[in-house]
């Protein structure tokens, strides 16, 4: 083991300084995340502490800070067992462990490359919906009014219909927090300005005797001790697999943005599968130490890198700082005002919005627009663990529909001494002539019927004709396409004509043999692809011309 990758004496001052900034900032941020997940805020802090500390040892990324994200917190809040089960705390910790096992398995199986299959339109719609839900979910604590409704949108409408019941003092603390955070972050305090703003705003109710302003200690007990390891009872695990998969998906996708955008000190980008492993281990440890599920956090990673991190010890020291703060100042954490934390989360919500990504997706095309909008609406109206899966499924279906509609069949006309001329495919196969066709687009199962419709019809008068279909670049075909080729070859044979295939991949040839389609087409009518582009096509053309000449 290379000890210097964890603690580098040459950069230890920079790393400790960066870890101090992230560690202190993560205390209120972790509490806010716990509140967002509708659990005891201390579990959010424990998740942050164990996630950032453990992840630093196992991620491929040197700088990745493994903490909870707003999207993950909202998914947790929508899990029934965590929200109102028989043992919600045990369910929360079990959920973190299952999520970690799924992430770890994804990393060990080298599934990091699969992130490219997740459409940007899905994540854009999902993340922006999460941002709205974060903002709407804080309005009760921000105003002191307990709204009613089946979801956050209806609750927000109820609040606006009853603005006269808003507690002015609670709202004032929330507004003051937002103003202080935005102001102090522009000073030398930077990220620590958030901590100072929360403390300053929380002192106001105590100083002025505003008993109507709720404090953290009013809703949760905050211990001044570190968590002890414990394994949740096995009865807590059933029914958590689907939300765990959703959490793993969301966490890994958000973490992948770090893998793809922040290089390691050597200038190389981290391995996504390695980051999956690190996030998986961090989740298992978080669950064992009474923490919430966690994932790669872009905001936390940005904080630690901007604060001067040079090695993994920055995140390691951030975890240590959090532990020290909990031990020394944990009893004071309960004095933080709830509207102050709500103000912090409202800022987080607005900063989670991605208007530029929305604009980019919108300009891309109709399919991306539909996927983004439906994912956005679904995330607002149904539990997030189902919304994200629905978005991915919808994107796949629309992609299949879109790609199946893009198949185009063109005719190549060869003339001596000239390059081939591309023309629209004829409507009917001409007699006593070679027709060479080249399909553009994917020929997967959904596209095969579209491909068949564009093939020239074999007319009643078609005689002594040869149709050559170029398949160069097609490395595998499905049974649907094979049936199309078999039907077309049969139709041509019934009119004393034949079908030839050029540029055939060796594996496609094996498929033709195994399925019996080779017997229908004829082995002599199959021309394998070669290194020289167009060579097999010319061989097929010459063979077709010779066959027609022999029939005249």
| Annotated domain spans of the chain | 13-398, 408-551
Task: Measure the CA–CA gap between 278 and 260, rounded to whole angstroms.
Answer: 16
pLDDT value, residue 293: 95
Task: Measure the CA–CA gap between 12 and 6, rounded to whole angstroms.
Answer: 10
Task: Measure the CA–CA gap between 55 and 67, rounded to whole angstroms.
Answer: 9
Three-state secondary structure along 14-73? HHHHHHHHHHHHHHHHHHHHHHHCCCCHHHHHHHHHHHHHHHHHHCCCCCCEEECCHHHH
The model's pLDDT over 171-201, given as tens digits with 9 standing for 90+, comes to 999 999 999 999 998 898 877 788 888 889 9
pLDDT value, residue 69: 81
pLDDT value, residue 4: 63
pLDDT value, residue 527: 96
pLDDT value, residue 291: 95
User: Going by CATH, does the domain composed of 408-551 fall within 3.30.750.24?
Assistant: yes
Give the DSSP letter string of 258-305. HHHHS--TTSPPPPHHHHHHHHHHHHHHHHHTT----EEEHHHHHHHH
Which residues of the chain fall short of a pLDDT of 50? 1
Cα 326 from chain centre: 33
Torsion of CA 485, 486, 489, 491, to 10 degrees: -110
User: What are the residues facing 501 on neighbouring strands?
Assistant: 469, 526
With CA atoms as reference, report the closest residue to 538 among 497, 509, 491, 500.
Answer: 500
């Amino acid at each position: 083991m290379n000890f210097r990758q964890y603690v580098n004496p040459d950069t230890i001052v920079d790393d400790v300084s960066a870890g101090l900034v992230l560690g202190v900032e993560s205390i209120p941020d972790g509490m806010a995340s716990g509140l967002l997940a509708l659990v005891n805020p201390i579990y959010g802090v424990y998740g942050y502490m164990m996630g950032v500390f453990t992840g630093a040892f196992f991620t491929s990324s040197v700088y990745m800070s493994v903490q909870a994200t707003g999207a993950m917190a909202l998914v947790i809040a929508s899990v029934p067992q965590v929200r109102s089960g028989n043992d919600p705390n045990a369910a929360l910790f079990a959920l973190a462990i299952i999520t970690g096992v799924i992430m770890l398995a994804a990393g060990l199986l080298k599934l990091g490359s699969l992130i490219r299959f997740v459409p940007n339109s899905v994540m854009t719609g999902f993340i922006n919906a999460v941002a709205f839900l974060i903002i709407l979910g804080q309005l009760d604590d921000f105003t002191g009014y307990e709204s009613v409704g089946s979801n956050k949108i209806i609750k927000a409408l109820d609040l606006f219909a009853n603005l006269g019941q808003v507690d002015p003092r609670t709202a004032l603390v929330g507004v003051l927090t937002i103003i202080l955070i935005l102001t102090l972050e522009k000073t030398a305090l930077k990220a620590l300005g958030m901590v100072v703003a929360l403390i300053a705003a929380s002192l106001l109710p105590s100083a002025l005797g505003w008993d109507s302003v709720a404090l953290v200690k009013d809703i949760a007990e905050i211990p001044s001790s570190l968590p002890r390891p414990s394994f949740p009872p096995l009865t807590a695990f059933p029914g958590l697999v689907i939300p765990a998969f959703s959490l793993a998906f969301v966490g890994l996708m958000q973490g992948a943005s770090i893998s793809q955008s922040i290089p390691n000190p050597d200038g190389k980008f981290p391995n996504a599968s390695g980051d999956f492993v690190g996030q998986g281990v961090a989740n298992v440890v978080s669950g064992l130490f009474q923490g919430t599920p966690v994932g790669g956090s872009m905001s936390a990673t940005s904080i630690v890198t901007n604060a001067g991190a040079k090695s993994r010890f920055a995140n390691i020291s951030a975890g240590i700082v959090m532990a020290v703060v909990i031990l020394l100042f944990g009893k004071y954490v309960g004095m933080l005002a709830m509207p102050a934390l709500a103000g912090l989360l409202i800022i987080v919500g607005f900063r989670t919005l991605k208007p530029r990504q929305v604009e980019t997706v919108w300009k891309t095309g109709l399919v991306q627009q539909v996927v983004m909008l439906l994912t956005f609406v679904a995330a607002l109206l149904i539990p997030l663990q189902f919304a994200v899966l629905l978005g991915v499924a919808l994107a796949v279906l629309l992609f299949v529909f879109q790609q199946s509609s893009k198949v185009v069949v063109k005719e190549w006309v060869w003339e001596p001494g000239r390059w081939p001329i591309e023309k629209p495919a004829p409507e009917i196969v001409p007699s006593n002539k070679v027709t060479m066709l080249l399909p553009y687009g994917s020929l997967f199962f959904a596209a095969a019927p579209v491909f068949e419709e564009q093939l020239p019809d074999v007319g009643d008068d078609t005689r002594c004709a040869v149709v050559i279909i170029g398949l160069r670049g097609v490395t595998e075909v499905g049974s649907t396409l094979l049936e199309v080729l078999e039907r077309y070859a049969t139709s041509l044979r019934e009119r004393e004509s034949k079908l030839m295939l050029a540029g055939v991949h060796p594996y496609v040839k094996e498929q033709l043999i195994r399925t019996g389609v080779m017997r229908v087409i004829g082995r002599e009518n199959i021309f394998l692809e070669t290194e020289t582009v167009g060579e097999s096509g010319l061989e097929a053309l010459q063979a077709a011309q010779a066959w027609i000449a022999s029939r005249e």
